[in-house]
A and B are shown apart, each in its own frame.
Chain A
Amino acid sequence: MPWLHWGVIAIVLPLAGAMSCFLWPRRAIPLGLVTALGIVTCVAGLGWQLVEQGAQRYAVGGWGAPLGIDLYADGLSLLMLMATAAVGLGVSIYSIGYFNREKARYFWPLWMFLWAALNALFLSADIFNLYVTLELLGLAAVALVALAGGAEALTGAMRYLLVSLLGSLFYLLGVALLYHSFGSVDIAILAARVESSPAVWAAVGLISAGLLLKTALFPLHFWLPSTHASAPAPVSALLSALVVKASFYILLRLWLEIFPPTSAVLGQLLALLGATAVLWGGLQALRQTRLKMLIAYSTVAQLGYLFLAFPLASITGWTGALYMLLSHAVAKTAIFMAAGNILYFGGHDRIADLDRVVQRLPLTVTAFALAGASIMGLPPSGGFIAKWLLLEAAIRSGQWWWGGILILGGLLSAAWVFKVVGYAFTRSRAPHESRAVPVGMEWSALAMSMVAILLGLFASWPLALMEIGLPFGGKGAE
């Protein structure tokens, strides 16, 4: 089976890369870059394979589903892998300039472990394996946050670790109940056997609670802003772009495949929380005085949009949510990179003291503005396509009020983007010391923001890839 090469290598390669970066810290940067390029190649190969042959299932070690661990790849997993590869490549290049030699030797192994966990998570076909990958992801992410050092980052990492473990334990208890009820942890087998019962509802509740805590849906977002803001810039980008999306991916996958079809009330509740997150996150973002804190609150808002698809339950709605996830991942990476550049340049990220940064870091501010356009949902960006799809789904299902949330959220995003860009043009009272930003950091931020715009111009390709294996075709069909 030729698919074996791509999917399995996409998991094994970053693991091997992490170990080699750890063993040869002096060579960590070239080793890491080679691994990153290798992973991107694997994901491209897997994509080509899926286009040619449709969704793929692979039994690891030749052991079948009931006992062994299966890997499964369809359009949904492929797009998540591609988003990870795109963001991962950008962050890898960015981090060369960002970290000094001492920090780089810790960053690369941890980042490669994180990448391995993400790839394994998106390819897993059983809920227990998802738990293991979720924990791998959490531990690597916590260690990366702590990399910044200092009281703020360490307490942020500690809080993140406790939250992450708590979420995983809720999830694991849910898995235990599901296994007890149906005697399997394989998603496909569970989907065939699942029926409504008190144990299943308890499991749905526990799993959802755990995953929502990890996805930081309002009001469980309390840990996110301080953690994401205190981490080093490339790590903030990874956390906001990918790590919170991983638990959302699990929730989406389980919702589409396993959860009983009568969960309409739960869907409405999730969308209500999502709508509150959009408004609350947007308002809090406007109130912040520090740039990274502002961006972190914007992540809270943007995560809210993803949950608006749950009551719509149509293919257009799911596609819109997934597109929102992709474009936010890319755009937020660019924005955190830009914020990292500003922080690197001026030594602080107080918004009011940006001091004509537009003249000194024109590429960075361009990247910020372009990515900001995608976050706002201006055409022709990825964010626009996503909001358009969600709006269409909302109107078609007769629930136009969710569309109102999309528009209000867009206005709030516009307000903070213009606020920051405005301060970037004005002179601050106290001019400050500055140091030159490495070229790679500026260009990688710009490249990521270009990708966010290109996602809008070439939307038909990712949308076509999503169709592979019809991930939304089952219960989501109208």
Chain B
Amino acid sequence: MIPAVLYALVGMGLFALGLFALIVHTHLLRKILAINVMASGVFLVLVALAARTRGAVPDPVPHAMVITGIVVAVSATALALALMLRVSAETGRAELPEEPLE
């Protein structure tokens, strides 16, 4: 049981770390990476908690969820990167403005 809980805690740590980076950094690429770190954290929690008892076969359902989640994360990242390129082409900077544009 211990390793599974350890992995889950690491997953939570990644989630918190990603959230921190998402808030602190201004460059969009760093924000997108932060979101991906957060997603990996959630996936780690899902995979780790699938092992309910030591030695038993892990529950396959969370693994299926993680695969779905990865597909979603990949497509979201692709969209985010494309948007980031357009934003930097349009405004000259890959950052979000602090104040709304007038």
Contacts and interface: CB of A to CB of B under 8 A. Distances in A.
- Genuine A/B complex: yes
Interface of A: 67, 128, 132, 135, 138-139, 142-143, 146, 150-152, 154-155, 157-159, 161-162, 165-166, 168-169, 172-173, 175-177, 179-180, 183, 185, 225-226
A143 B97 CA distance: 19
8 contacts: A146-B86, A151-B87, A151-B90, A154-B91, A158-B83, A169-B15, A176-B65, A177-B45
Contact of A158 (B45, B68, B87): B87
Contacts of B80: 158, 161-162, 165
A156 B68 CA distance: 27
B65 A128 contact: yes
B97 A179 contact: no
A162 B87 contact: no
Nearest to A150: B90
Contacts, number: 88
Q: Which of B46, B83, B97 has the most CB of A within 10 A?
A: B83
A166 B87 contact: no
B72 interface: yes
State the majority secondary structure of interface residues on B.
helix
Interface of B: 15, 19, 22, 28, 31-32, 35, 38-39, 41-42, 45-46, 49, 59, 61-62, 65, 68-69, 72, 75-76, 79-80, 83-84, 86-87, 90-91, 96-97, 100-101
A157 B42 contact: no
Given A146-B86, A166-B22, 19 more contacts: A128-B65, A139-B76, A139-B79, A151-B87, A154-B90, A155-B97, A158-B80, A161-B80, A162-B31, A162-B35, A165-B76, A168-B72, A172-B42, A173-B41, A173-B42, A176-B42, A177-B45, A183-B59, A185-B61
Contacts of B69: 172
Nearest to B95: A155
A173 B15 contact: yes
B65 A155 contact: no
A173 B32 CA distance: 18
Q: Which 9 residue pairs spanning A and B have beta carbons closest together?
A: A180-B49, A226-B100, A151-B90, A152-B101, A176-B46, A135-B72, A154-B87, A151-B91, A173-B42
Given A151-B101, A158-B96, A165-B76, A142 B42 contact: no
A185 B72 CA distance: 18
A161 B15 contact: no
B88 to A, nearest CB: 10
Contacts of A154: 83, 86-87, 90-91
Nearest to B90: A151
A120 B22 CA distance: 30
Q: Which of A132, A157, A165, A185 has the most CB of B within 10 A?
A: A165
A193 to B, nearest CB: 15
A179 B62 contact: yes
Contacts of B79: 139, 142-143, 161
Contact of B35 (A135, A157, A165): A165
A161 B87 contact: no
Given A146-B83, A172-B42, A135 B62 contact: no
Contacts of B61: 67, 179, 185
Contacts of B32: 162
B55 to A, nearest CB: 18
Contacts of A159: 96
B45 A173 contact: yes
A14 B68 CA distance: 21
A32 to B, nearest CB: 22
Contacts of A169: 15, 35, 38-39, 42
Contacts of B15: 169, 173
A173 B39 CA distance: 9
Contacts of A138: 76
Contacts of A162: 22, 31-32, 35, 80
Contacts of A172: 42, 69
B77 to A, nearest CB: 9
Contacts of B35: 162, 165-166, 169
Contacts of B96: 155, 158-159
Contacts of A142: 79, 83
A166 B15 CA distance: 10
A135 B65 contact: no
Nearest to A160: B83
A226 B72 CA distance: 25
Nearest to A289: B102
A172 B42 CA distance: 7
Contacts of A176: 42, 45-46, 49, 62, 65
Contacts of A166: 19, 22, 35, 38
A227 B38 CA distance: 24
Given A128-B65, A169-B38, A158 B28 contact: yes
Contacts of A177: 45
A186 to B, nearest CB: 11
Contact of B83 (A128, A151, A157, A226): A157
A155 B79 CA distance: 13
A138 B69 CA distance: 14
A175 B83 CA distance: 29
